[in-house]
Structure 1
């Protein structure tokens, strides 16, 4: 009779709750601008074809095979990416584990033993006996109110968020490899400029010293020429240090010891080519593409499912349990032999007397959902800011790059003419030294500007989530 009443209660609960309780997730609406308005975002103003910033292999636009090789090494061997992959595998395992809650849990057990009872416990029967119990157990939560479904969906969203965390890590690693490589080539170009100018100034020092030895110059001119030569040479150690640091960083990003790539990268090469223009797309496309935004939204979705999990505790939790087994007993008594064992039960667990605690947990999960919503909205705004800033930096650095290129060319021409005029006696040493100093500053400024332009291009690709390839790192090998 009690079982019939329990079954009746189950039918009533099923009729009262045809779907899961709790809120259903809906993607939050945010007002987004139709287009980016930063300089250089319009095809009409650039007048040249633009590269798609969402290209998953954006580094090819720099036309540098060595950069491509380094990026591919990092994507397969970087330890941060391998760690992110391990976190994804863990989240995937937890999701697969949660899905088993939809089905009955079946276990088997075997209990075998021998026991000797005290004389006062045997009641006249043999004190020594052997026993064996073999059972098959089953339990199943009847998910009428959606607690299990909410939990499975929550774990699924956490898995998707972890996958997007891994994608965001890929974007960050590729961006750092490209930025470090470009900085390396930029510092090598500045080193070339410094050494070339030091060589020119060294020839000037020798000429001034020869003139002084011939009695036509002054010691002041010699000291001034040598001071400028030493000042130019003083730039070289700092540039060599910066180059070494970049080489070490690239090796570690590729999952190797710091000195591994020194010999390979020491050979000087020019800065990679810059794309003429980069098409940023629209803000709506950015929101769909950036993995950090997707991860934030998926965690918001998971938090919404958590509210459903807690809300389900306001309703009965029904569990079906069953047991089938065989018991064996040997003691030379009337109880000897085999006997079947079975059991079927329906357990109803209802926390209606503990609603205060349940409602407190629901309120806590709702507050967590509000926090995740605010975090999602902030992530979107930061992404838009990131792109706008990167667009401004890239456009303005290209303008500065063009102007400094012309300034460097004019300064070199002026220095060459000053050298000729000095040798012919048409101008003084001060004019020559000023021209050489201006040449060094102009060429170094252009090299730095060109480096900044290339770095700004990488930052723009990174902010637009370029460099999100479907290339997985190697799994961590266990010792």
Structure 2
């Protein structure tokens, strides 16, 4: 009967509610819609399960992204952090489980004759084997709260992997776009260099015929050299993008040079995917999801610290065999057992336990402020990206018209120069304007593409397709 009462009492104690706050996700005030005109009327959230990079119509980019997700070393580090967090969950749970140990020993000793009342020494042997069970009973929920904290930390680390995937998607796409844009700039520079070399020949011929001054020749040659000087910088930027892409794929820097060397069309400028609602960021962005999980862990840590204010109950059980001879070791009379319930009461600690609670509460408050600030920053990221994309799209349309007009101006200026109806300065000015417009058009195409990458990263889209890394 006494044992039954003890067992029921232990169950009742273990079933007590855990002290400390019960966590509830914080509620944030979210805007009803985006303010940018680029998102006007777009509320459907099709982004989460969309491989947005495929909209660039660049099969090699899609292939590089899939390879990077498989091999990237930053993702490997994030996976190992998850493994560490899983082990921490097991460690936290083990604290609430009875610890069972077994031991066996043979103790042989001789008593000194001088220490014996009978004046003679003797030799004794003790055989012993048994089990010891130690259990700290989680009456006030300190262990349960520590398990909650470890679980939340594991989930936060998992979101860290998702965030690393999102960053990787943006890095691969961004560097691929930079590569193709610089290749296009190099192609335009070489095309203009060839055209300017033709003009140098034309001015030289006219100078030799006495139809123009040597100034025209030097101006044409100067413009040619200025264009020629741009080529090494484009070649260097191309190599840098190739090297970076290789490293993102966990390869040596030069591993992708041959694969990426061939000029490819510029990635397509896709239509804008529906960005959804501002509130969607809370469930889509890994950094927000991770911070919310850290908040849950911090709340549980308050409970862990609070439980230290209360008594600790423990129970130690012993069961085994003891005998002074091996022949009698397994006999019924050799059995022994012990039950040792215990309690530890905190009395005076100089305010240490209260300070620990205050520290954990302050940590929670800090994370809550961080969560709110992070959400506002996320909103800002999306608004800026939407605005930048909309503005660059408008700029690109104007620059496209500018190139058409300047191409016609160069043709007219050269024709008039050949017929002696204008000075070479008009040709020079027209060529410079055309090259500036062509270069700006390519640069605008790149900025438009990059603005899409930045936008999709800010919206938190794409990692869901690779959530397992």
Same-fold call, TM > 0.5? Answer: yes
User: In the TM superposition, what are the counterparts of 1:424-443 in structure 2 within 5 Å?
Assistant: 424-443=419-438
- 1:51 Cα deviation (Å)? 8.7
Aligned to 1:29: 27
Report the CA distance shift for 1:387/1:136 in structure 2 as closer, same or farther (over 3 A): same
Aligned to 2:81: 87
Report the CA distance shift for 1:289/1:125 in structure 2 as closer, same or farther (over 3 A): same
- 1:141 Cα deviation (Å)? 2.2
User: In the TM superposition, what are the counterparts of 1:333-372 in structure 2 within 5 Å?
Assistant: 339-354=334-349, 356-372=351-367
Task: Verify the 8 A CA contact 1:141 1:317 in the aligned structure 2.
Answer: yes
Question: Is 1:159 aligned to residue 157 of structure 2?
Answer: no
Task: Choose 368-377 or 338-347, whichever is displaced more.
Answer: 338-347
Q: For 2:122, which of 122, 126, 129 is the aligned residue?
A: 126
- 1:452 Cα deviation (Å)? 0.3
User: For residues 248-296 of structure 1, what are the alpha-carbon distances to aligned partners after superposition, in whole Å with 9 as ceiling and x for unaligned?
Assistant: 0000001100000011111111221122223111111111211110111
Report the CA distance shift for 1:100/1:327 in structure 2 as closer, same or farther (over 3 A): same
Aligned to 1:274: 269
User: In the TM superposition, what are the counterparts of 1:196-211 in structure 2 within 5 Å?
Assistant: 196-211=191-206
- 1:214 Cα deviation (Å)? 2.9
Task: Choose 244-253 or 347-356, whichever is displaced more.
Answer: 347-356
Task: Choose 111-120 or 249-258, whichever is displaced more.
Answer: 111-120
- 1:103 Cα deviation (Å)? 2.6
- 1:157 Cα deviation (Å)? 0.4
- 1:331 Cα deviation (Å)? 11
Local SS of the residue matching 1:365: helix
- 1:7 Cα deviation (Å)? 5.5
> Normalised by the size of structure 1, how large is the TM-score?
0.90
Task: Verify the 8 A CA contact 1:320 1:345 in the aligned structure 2.
Answer: yes
User: For residues 173-213 of structure 1, what are the alpha-carbon distances to aligned partners after superposition, in whole Å with 9 as ceiling and x for unaligned?
Assistant: 11011011101111111111111101100111112112222
Distance 1:331 1:133 in 2: 10
Distance 2:66 2:290 in 1: 24
User: In the TM superposition, what are the counterparts of 1:29-178 in structure 2 within 5 Å?
Assistant: 29-43=27-41, 52-112=46-106, 120=114, 124-127=120-123, 131-178=126-173
Task: Verify the 8 A CA contact 1:205 1:225 in the aligned structure 2.
Answer: yes
Task: Verify the 8 A CA contact 2:49 2:465 in the aligned structure 1.
Answer: no
Distance 1:155 1:285 in 2: 27
User: For residues 299-332 of structure 1, what are the alpha-carbon distances to aligned partners after superposition, in whole Å with 9 as ceiling and x for unaligned?
Assistant: 1111111111111122221112111122354599
Task: Verify the 8 A CA contact 1:51 1:277 in the aligned structure 2.
Answer: no
- 1:422 Cα deviation (Å)? 2.5
Distance 1:331 1:25 in 2: 58
Distance 1:342 1:143 in 2: 24
Unaligned runs of 5+ in 1: 475-479
User: For residues 104-127 of structure 1, what are the alpha-carbon distances to aligned partners after superposition, in whole Å with 9 as ceiling and x for unaligned?
Assistant: 222222334655665545773434
Distance 1:452 1:111 in 2: 77
* Paired residue total: 464
Local SS of the residue matching 2:466: coil
Aligned CA RMSD, in angstroms, stands at: 2.9
- 1:469 Cα deviation (Å)? 3.5
Aligned to 1:292: 287
Distance 2:321 2:402 in 1: 96
Unaligned runs of 5+ in 2: none
Report the CA distance shift for 1:468/1:336 in structure 2 as closer, same or farther (over 3 A): closer
User: For residues 375-429 of structure 1, what are the alpha-carbon distances to aligned partners after superposition, in whole Å with 9 as ceiling and x for unaligned?
Assistant: 1111111111111111111111111111111111221222123223323333332
User: For residues 9-35 of structure 1, what are the alpha-carbon distances to aligned partners after superposition, in whole Å with 9 as ceiling and x for unaligned?
Assistant: 9679849x8311111111112211111
Task: Verify the 8 A CA contact 2:48 2:464 in the aligned structure 1.
Answer: no
Distance 2:87 2:330 in 1: 47
Report the CA distance shift for 1:151/1:30 in structure 2 as closer, same or farther (over 3 A): same
Q: For 2:188, which of 188, 193, 196 is the aligned residue?
A: 193
Distance 2:116 2:229 in 1: 100
Aligned to 2:392: 397
